Amino acid sequence: MASNQETLAPGAVPFRNLADWMQTCLVAVVVLYATAAHAATFVVDRYDDDNGSCTVGDCTLREALLAAEATPEIDTVMLPPGQHTLSIPETTPPSLFGGDLEIVDFDVDVTAPEGATVDAQRTDRVFRFVSSNSRLENLEITGGFTPDDIGGGVYVVSSDVELSNLWIHDNEAGIGGGIAFEIGTVLLSNSAVTDNESLNHAGGIYQFGVTNIAEAHLEVRNTTISGNVARTAGGATAAFGASFLVMEYTTVANNTNRSGDRTMFGFLFNPRVEVLYSIVEGTCIAGIEASCIYLTSTVDDVPVSDLGLEPLALNGGFSPTHRLQASSPALDVVPVGATCPPSDQRGFVRPVDGDGDDVATCDAGAFELLPSETPVAVPALSPHGLVVLIVLFMAAAVRRVSLG
């Protein structure tokens, strides 16, 4: 165990103070114990990287996972807000004691109630799951770097993993810059996969299945996939083999790849694809350069010249989104009576009446435009009107001077 412990890494955001964090965790542990009496909760209270024992007041993320690995139950690892860094080199053979966070042959829930960042600092990928049934929640996953391997941010092998309220960004890999998985099920919701890079294909998400009984099953809901880059095909996603994709209320935009390839490679020609109420740029039956709003399937697409998206930004919630412009064709396009999630990616309520016709229907994609977010048009002044306005301002200024 290192003697020079870090209680806060540079750039970390404290949870008011450590006592407040520990008190909050104590309450959470009591609740978790009452609902799952045989599972343990390991509370992270250091931001650096170490592979010793997890004890109260001295527990890194890696140490908490090592403690969870040693128990047979589905344990919980809780992180305080701030930046948790990985720095220990990979071991030979690979293990949880160094390199990426290897969650192999055990199950765990990793959650940050107030949100937290896990940064691999380009030393390795961030998370790897093998033969695991696990969950990640409220995390920013960044700094993964595996140029000769698969999965820069999260790599899933023969596992069922739920990814909820994540921001996976600025990771790099040979294949699957943000997320990669081979066999199993990945449920990705209320998240953003942005600005990841692949040296081959699948800048954002890569999936590969072997057979229909060993497939790669991906479900994406209320999620933004944007700004990812692939040197070959599939700037956003790439699916190979026995892959099954379900995509609902998702926005796919501004992803780039080799000229002539689609940003969602293998998407339109795989019969095991269901795309509902999503907006996709650069992958459309109408052509590679076209953008589409998908309503009930990949064959029910509406080509549009402009999706009406604002640049990627933090518009509320944990991860960035593309805010809809008031003129976007995605506004209120979901039919009345269609299944609509209770909130958008940000956690803002769905549906609302965005087009002013007194009928609340959902917007396609991950962002639900609220009336309060619609900019009010200010009429342009004519030259005569501008002169009148200047005279009025000058008169008001003269009156203020005379009264003062």
pLDDT for 2: 36
Of 71 and 268, the one with more pLDDT: 71
Strands (E), 69-153: 75-78, 83-85, 101-104, 108-119, 127-130, 133-142, 145-150
Mean pLDDT of 311-321: 96
Q: What letter represents residue 316's amino acid?
A: G
Residue 184 lies in a domain: yes
- Per DSSP, 332 falls in state T
Asked whether the predicted pLDDT for residue 12 surpasses 70, the reply is: no
CATH code assigned at 237: 2.160.20
Per-residue model confidence (pLDDT) at position 229? 97
Please tell me the predicted confidence (pLDDT) of residue 371: 82
Which residue blocks in 140-298 are alpha helix, DSSP H?
none
Query: Which pLDDT score, from 0 to 100, does residue 378 have?
Result: 35
Q: Residue range 82-90: average pLDDT?
A: 97
pLDDT at residue 297, rounded to an integer: 65
φ, ψ at 206 (rounded to 5°): -120, 135
Q: Identify the pLDDT of residue 395.
A: 53
| Helix spans in 36-164 (H) | 61-69
Closest CA relative to residue 296, chosen from 339, 238, 251, 254: 339
Nearest to 192 by CA among 317, 331, 348, 11: 317
Nearest to 336 by CA among 393, 277, 261: 277
How many C-beta atoms lie closer than 10 Å to residue 31's C-beta? Answer: 11
Position 126 in a domain: yes
Please answer whether residues 144 and 116 qualify as being in contact, where contact means their C-beta atoms are separated by less than 8 angstroms. Answer: no
Q: Per the domain annotation, does 399 fall within a domain?
A: no
Alpha-carbon torsion (311, 315, 321, 325), positive or negative: negative
pLDDT average, residue stretch 99-123: 97
With respect to residue 387, please indicate whether it lies within any of the assigned structural domains: no
What pLDDT score was predicted for residue 30? 36
Domain span at residue 292 reads 18-373
**What confidence category does residue 196 fall into, taking pLDDT thresholds of 50, 70 and 90?**
very high
396 in any annotated domain: no
pLDDT score at 260: 83
Mean pLDDT of 199-208: 95
Domain count of the chain?
A: 1
What is the spatial distance between Cα 252 and Cα 211, in angstroms, rounded to a whole number? 27
Residues 228, 208: Cα–Cα separation, whole Å:
19
**Total Cβ atoms within 10 A of residue 154:** 30
Lowest-confidence range among 54-68, 284-298, 311-325, 389-403?
389-403
118-128 mean pLDDT: 97
Residue 132 lies in a domain: yes
Residue carrying the six token digits 């290192």: 2
Better-predicted residue by pLDDT, 160 or 265: 160
* Mean pLDDT lowest among 6-10, 138-142, 178-182: 6-10
Percent of the chain whose pLDDT exceeds 90: 63
pLDDT higher than 60, residue 35: no
Position 335: which residue type?
A: P
**For the ranges 40-44, 85-89, 241-245, 346-350, which has the lowest average pLDDT?**
241-245
Identify whether 400 is part of a domain: no
For 257-311, write each residue's pLDDT tens digit: 998 888 888 866 665 778 889 998 877 765 656 788 887 666 667 888 889 999 9
For residue 373, pLDDT beyond 80? no
Of residues 220 and 306, more confidence is placed in 220
Average pLDDT value for residue range 138-164:
97
- Residue 250 is assigned to a structural domain of this protein: yes
